Structure 1
Amino acid sequence: MSDGVGEDQDLDALRKQIDALDSELLQLISRRAQYAQQVASIKTCVDPQTQFYRPEREAEVLRRIMALNDGPLDDEEMARLFREIMSACLALEQPIKVAYLGPEGTFTQQAALKHFGESAISLPMAAIDEVFREVEAGAVHYGVVPVENSTEGVINHTLDSFMDSSMRISGEVVLRIHQHLLVSSTTRRDKISRIYSHPQSFAQCRKWLDAHYPQAERVPVSSNAEAARLVRTEWHSAAIAGDMAAKLYDLEKIYEKVEDRPDNSTRFLIIGNHDVPPSSEDKTSVVVAMRNQPGALHALLEPFHRHQIDLTRLETRPSRSGAWNYVFFIDFRGHQDDPHVAAMLEEVRLRASELKVLGSYPVGVL
């Protein structure tokens, strides 16, 4: 009995310490929110059209938190907690409106909330070019669009949209993509003969489907969220989708993480109307059109090599200006305001028929 009494006393003491810390955390978070309001007031007095959301500042804060973290929570978990605090404080200044490739429940919405936090107002759009139009028109502050998947490669529609748009890239998000086989409460699990999903998701789960449901009809739809919605109306169907779609449509995961590659991930871009100042770790995206002549690719890449600039992606797309002409989409480390990057870009501009800087932005933190 004495041991049990001692343990109860120890638990009570720990709970009192936790309660005291909770009270202290509450006061500190409230003070942070008050400082955020003061920052907003100063910014508004200086410039009524000021930007309240500063991508480079948020990236620097999150990196600093991760560097200071000693555990036991891991760095990303700690950064996510601070992301939500920052999101809520920013909403006191000005709620961020974000357009994303919808409908509700897609991985793109998940990426938007991962980047901007749950206090952001996320608005679904039916197509990638609609996201671009909403941002360009000023109806929203930012947009989120997918650009590449580690399994299936680039999303060409996003690259093509940049060719006709004045939008700037303000950030990036890399999201681990976990696909699940979902059913409703009325599904007869032993009679599944139809599976809905987005074509990209089918491609990411091809081997698993071949092994487990080789006879089931695979029906491609516009999004995984739409696949989840359809399953609710049919007793013999299932959907491949993610956690947000499962939660939104109250579906059960009968198989989890059915993607063929465990490292399956998708990169998303944040688009906006403004250039982003340098942070401590940046990336730049450009699109380059080269003259159709021998050695054009070498001429394009040689300045990158000479200035020791790290290329992270190189994609080729057909040019709309003529047959057999191509444009190159290039991502590289560094900010366009860095002296050595600016010098390299000037050399490329002289060699190319056209150079368009899509934006310099912080490397994704989360």
Structure 2
Amino acid sequence: MTGPSLEMLRLQLGEVDEAIVGLLNQRARLALSIGELKRSLGSQVYDPAQEARVLRRLGDFNHGPLPVQALVEIFREILSCCRAIQERVRVSFLGPPGSFSHWAALCGFGRSAEFLPLATIPEVIRAAERGQAQWAVVPIENSAEGSVKATLDGLVSTTLSVRGEVLVPIVHCLLSKASSLDRIHRVYSHPQGLAQCQSWLREHLPGRELVEVSSTSQGAARAAGDPDGAAVASRLSAELHGLQVLAEAIQGSSANMTRFLILGRGQSCPTGNDKTSILFATRHVPGALCMALSPLARQGLNLLRIESYPMRDRAWEYLFFADIQGHQADVPVCTALERMQQEVTLLRVLGSYPKGLEPQ
């Protein structure tokens, strides 16, 4: 007994595709109605908490064979398209295009958003503060290099709130116009990119000239104009500069990850899987930090991260940045913060937001 013919299977695929298009447009019409309702209520179109709920639900009703990560990427673009037909969403990020910050912005907002690349982190934050963009995407910490001081500086003074986070694995690729490694004479990249890939470069491209440039994206641009050149950069840079990916994941550590924050106006609603970022200062007395943190322990809250930061106007005194599990609207978090307020000289909630999806 024979199965269905190729022609029959293709006809069935065509029917499924037609149904998908119909359902996508049905979803878009619903999104337009939601957008109109949000405008009448004065609400923002982009809702990080709601979009996080949509993406997390995919695993609940996915029965394969598509992996959940593939569905997340597909739905991220569906959400982006539906958002774009409601209103223009503009996002500032640390450029140039092709940087890992650019990739984080794409992961957070999809390709239908408008993106504004800027030269420094303070400029990225100011753009959202001044209304040149509605949202800012900034790196906050790297698993290998630690915290990003310029972002900590910005969080101290900004009027924006932390509304979301994006976790991006730092995957370096070797990009080139050349078709094989033996045609490559020089490699361009940021010094950090070259350092992170030094073992692979020594083994596979020994003796080649290593040219340091201002960013991995700039390295890709240089390689695009050099037939004998290559770049250590992201896969996104290959797409933007018309380069081939000759090798992928050439960095020494496979665990290298950068965490980015999404900054904007307003507050995110609880999702049941949230973080709260706070900034606080303690009295300059023995045991002050322990007393400040004790309300978290009494409420059974997990301290996810804490870091000291020197006060600019007081020598040898420090601010502390901390991330705690839960949302400020949750009773245990709210109670802990109220009691913490009594133990510190300054407490500011930077924002409560949905935890970023762990890359698969």
TM-score (norm 1): 0.90
Rounded to whole Å, the distance in 1 between the matches of 2:266 and 2:350 is 11
2:89 aligned residue (93, 96, 106):
96
Say which is worse superposed, 64-73 or 183-192, in terms of deviation.
183-192
Aligned residue for 2:275? Answer: 283
Aligned residue for 1:122? Answer: 115
Rounded to whole Å, the distance in 2 between the matches of 1:333 and 1:132 is 25
2:307 aligned residue (292, 315, 326):
315
Distance apart, 1:145 and its partner CA: 1.0
Rounded to whole Å, the distance in 2 between the matches of 1:103 and 1:64 is 34
Distance apart, 1:219 and its partner CA: 4.4
Question: Does structure 1 residue 204 correspond to structure 2 residue 196?
Answer: yes
1:143 aligned residue (123, 136, 140):
136
1:232 aligned residue (202, 206, 224):
224
Distance apart, 1:330 and its partner CA: 0.7
Aligned residue for 2:250? Answer: 258
Residue by residue over 1:22-67, the C-alpha shift from the partner in whole angstroms, topping out at 9 and shown as x without a partner, is 11111111111111111222233x33x4311111111111212221
Q: Tell whether the 8 Å contact from 1:186 to 1:235 is kept in structure 2 after alignment.
A: no
Tell me how many residue pairs correspond in the alignment.
Answer: 358
- Which AA in structure 2 matches 1:261? S
Q: Cα gap change, 1:303/1:238 in structure 2, threshold over 3 Å: closer, same or farther?
A: same
Aligned residue for 1:172? Answer: 165
SS in 2 for 1:27: helix
Aligned residue for 2:127? Answer: 134
Question: Does structure 1 residue 162 correspond to structure 2 residue 155?
Answer: yes
Aligned residue for 2:6? Answer: 11
1:294 aligned residue (286, 299, 312):
286
Distance apart, 1:346 and its partner CA: 1.7
1:361 aligned residue (341, 353, 358):
353
Q: Cα gap change, 1:206/1:152 in structure 2, threshold over 3 Å: closer, same or farther?
A: farther
Aligned residue for 1:67? Answer: 60
SS in 2 for 1:93: coil
Q: Tell whether the 8 Å contact from 1:287 to 1:355 is kept in structure 2 after alignment.
A: yes
State the identity %: 39
**Any unmatched runs of 5+ in structure 2?**
none
- Which AA in structure 1 matches 2:231? A
Rounded to whole Å, the distance in 2 between the matches of 1:135 and 1:151 is 28
2:318 aligned residue (326, 335, 344):
326
Residue by residue over 1:192-213, the C-alpha shift from the partner in whole angstroms, topping out at 9 and shown as x without a partner, is 35x4323442343344345555
SS in 1 for 2:286: coil
Q: Cα gap change, 1:123/1:210 in structure 2, threshold over 3 Å: closer, same or farther?
A: same
- Which AA in structure 1 matches 2:142? N
- Which AA in structure 1 matches 2:19? E
Rounded to whole Å, the distance in 1 between the matches of 2:73 and 2:58 is 10
Q: Tell whether the 8 Å contact from 1:187 to 1:234 is kept in structure 2 after alignment.
A: no
Residue by residue over 1:309-357, the C-alpha shift from the partner in whole angstroms, topping out at 9 and shown as x without a partner, is 1121112222212221122111111001111101111222221221111
- Which AA in structure 1 matches 2:254? P
Q: Cα gap change, 1:70/1:291 in structure 2, threshold over 3 Å: closer, same or farther?
A: same
SS in 1 for 2:188: strand
Question: Does structure 1 residue 337 correspond to structure 2 residue 329?
Answer: yes
- Which AA in structure 2 matches 1:255? A
Q: Tell whether the 8 Å contact from 2:220 to 2:238 is kept in structure 1 after alignment.
A: yes
Rounded to whole Å, the distance in 1 between the matches of 2:163 and 2:295 is 25
Q: Cα gap change, 1:235/1:75 in structure 2, threshold over 3 Å: closer, same or farther?
A: closer
1:304 aligned residue (273, 296, 299):
296
Q: Tell whether the 8 Å contact from 2:178 to 2:184 is kept in structure 1 after alignment.
A: no
Aligned residue for 1:28? Answer: 23
Question: Does structure 1 residue 87 correspond to structure 2 residue 109?
Answer: no
Q: Cα gap change, 1:295/1:199 in structure 2, threshold over 3 Å: closer, same or farther?
A: farther
SS in 2 for 1:351: coil
SS in 2 for 1:84: helix
- Which AA in structure 1 matches 2:327? H
Q: Cα gap change, 1:71/1:298 in structure 2, threshold over 3 Å: closer, same or farther?
A: same
SS in 2 for 1:315: strand
TM-score (norm 2): 0.92
Q: Cα gap change, 1:203/1:299 in structure 2, threshold over 3 Å: closer, same or farther?
A: farther
Q: Tell whether the 8 Å contact from 1:188 to 1:236 is kept in structure 2 after alignment.
A: no
Rounded to whole Å, the distance in 2 between the matches of 1:123 and 1:109 is 9
Counterparts of 1:209-228 in structure 2, within 5 Å, are 209=201, 211-212=203-204, 218-228=210-220
- Which AA in structure 2 matches 1:129? P
Q: Cα gap change, 1:342/1:188 in structure 2, threshold over 3 Å: closer, same or farther?
A: closer
